[in-house]
A and B are shown apart, each in its own frame.
Chain A
Amino acid sequence: MAIACVRNLFAVVALGGIYSFLMALALLVLDAVDVSMTEASVGAGVSTVLLLGALYLTRIDEAPPLRVSAAPMVVALAAGAALLYGSWDLPPFGDPAGAIHHHVAPRYLNQVIAETGVPNVVTAVLASYRGYDTLGETTVIFTAGIGVLLLLKGRRRRRDGGGAAL
């Protein structure tokens, strides 16, 4: 909530880092240890560093809005109400009879030692069963890295060119 109201972007980024750590704790409570570690390192660490870097390259204060409109609040609250209405039909929290616990998950849990020998099921699925998908994921990250490099490289060259012209 404070993130929406604070105008100093440095404070926004700091609050975002704290929020990511809290989210990592919540994920830990929900038994998602691998996800929790990734969120703590990537979400709270790398994202905060990236945001601070962007702040260093731009500026740190947010301008007051030119016009204030109620439409975004209405849209957000309407979407929230619709989601709450829909969530009422979901299975209750922590119920082993829920639909998602009876599809492929038990098969992975029962066969993982025999088929891969890796006790951590998340690692086994990520690297062994779905290895090609993980390769695709790294391709996405590689593409994003190329994009960032291209965007920022053109910027530096233009600045150099401008300096030479002066």
Chain B
Amino acid sequence: MVDAVAHFSNWVTVILMVIGLYVVLARGNLIKKLVGLSIFQTSVYLLYIGPGKILGGTAPIIAEGFTVYSNPLPHVLILTAIVVGVATLALGLALVVRIHEAYGTIEEDEVLGREGDT
């Protein structure tokens, strides 16, 4: 039982990762694919932040009366990752808009079908 609690954050991470991977692989709609990619990305945030937590620690802001702080390095890395993630999301959505412009659809199957026709 103690073991199960100890690895709970890893399990949540893996479940979110599987959902995200499934949405990216199985869904043909390009916008839904991007949302799935975001879910996958947040699972990576948890993968980094989860081990950085120390039970009984506080947020890594140096203050009087606290001696135990959670690890600040994953926070720095993920802060960067979130912002870069939004940049890639914006670029992906711009590509989707252009695909919609060129093919009149945002479904992967239909885009491939029209590609075959021409």
Docked-complex contact A80 and B14, CB < 8 angstroms: yes
How many residues of chain A get a CB closer than 8 Å to chain B's CBs?
A: 87
CA distance A92 to B53 in the complex (A): 11
Docked-complex contact B68 and A93, CB < 8 angstroms: no
Contact of B93 among A53, A83, A121 (CB under 8 A): A53
Docked-complex contact A125 and B42, CB < 8 angstroms: no
- Nearest chain A CB to B28 CB, angstrom units: 6
- List the B side residues contacting A113 at CB < 8 Å: 62
- Tell me what chain A mostly uses at the interface: helix, strand, loop, or mixed: helix
Docked-complex contact B35 and A12, CB < 8 angstroms: yes
User: 23 A-B pairs, CB-CB below 8 angstroms?
Assistant: A3-B35, A4-B23, A16-B39, A30-B9, A30-B52, A30-B53, A31-B53, A31-B58, A43-B85, A51-B89, A51-B93, A58-B96, A65-B109, A76-B21, A80-B15, A84-B10, A90-B10, A93-B8, A93-B10, A96-B68, A121-B60, A148-B91, A148-B94
Q: Name A's B-contacting residues (CB within 8 A).
A: 1, 3-4, 9, 12-13, 16, 19-20, 23, 26-27, 30-35, 38-39, 42-43, 46-47, 50-51, 53-55, 57-59, 62-63, 65-67, 69, 71-73, 75-77, 79-80, 83-84, 87-88, 90-96, 98, 100-101, 104-105, 108-109, 112-113, 119-122, 125-126, 130, 133-134, 137, 140-141, 144-145, 147-148, 151-152, 154-155, 158
